[in-house]
Structure 1
Amino acid sequence: MDEDVEDMSREQLVAEVRTLRAAIRTHRDSSGHDLCWHHPDLWGTLPERVEPDVAVPPWPQFLRGCLAYRQSLDEQVAGAPAHAAEYDAGSS
């Protein structure tokens, strides 16, 4: 799947690493309501162009997953500052 890497020059590899790092940093640095969104821009750094096969759980299961994710943030980044802003659909 990643055979294209074998044929890249050093300069191309460096550019690829920089692109991947920028995408990972953008994802990593998401905060507030942006944490809740999927990130197709990150997937877009892959060379294969496929339409993601996203399965969306029904609302009750989805909301339980959101709650579990939020609880995991309390455990993993317990000292994180609160982001009290309401969600604004026009900002994402």
Structure 2
Amino acid sequence: MDDDLADMTRDQLAAEVVKLRTAVRAHRDTSGHDLCWHHPDLWDTLPERTDPDIAVPPWPRFMRGCVAYRQSLDEQAADARTHDAEYDA
């Protein structure tokens, strides 16, 4: 799947690393309501183009997952500042 890397020059590999690091940082630096969204821009850094076949849980299960995710933030990022703003589409 990553055979293209073997044909890249050092400069091309370095550029690829910078591109991937930029995408990971953008994902990492997501905050507030943006934490709840799926991030296809991160997937677009991969060379293979696919139409991801995602599965979405029914609403009650989805919401339980959201609650569990938020609870995990309380445990894993207990000192995070609060983003007290309503979601605005």
TM-score band by shorter chain is: over 0.9
Runs of 4+ in 1 over 6 A off after TM superposition: none
Residues 4-58 of structure 1: CA deviation (Å, up to 9, x unaligned): 0000000100000000000000000000000000000000000000001110000
Deviation at 1:3, TM superposition (A): 0.2
* TM-score of the pair, normalised by structure 2: 0.99
Root-mean-square deviation (Å): 0.3
* Partners of 1:79 and 1:28 in 2: CA distance: 16
Higher relative contact order (CA 8 A, sep 6+): 1
1:1-92 aligned within 5 A:
1-89=1-89
* C-alpha distance in structure 1 between counterparts of 2:51 and 2:7, whole Å: 26
Q: TM-score by structure 1 length? A: 0.96
**Percent of residue pairs identical:** 73
Q: Structure 2: where are the runs of 5+ without partners?
A: none
Distance 2:10 2:79 in 1: 41
Number of corresponding residues? 89
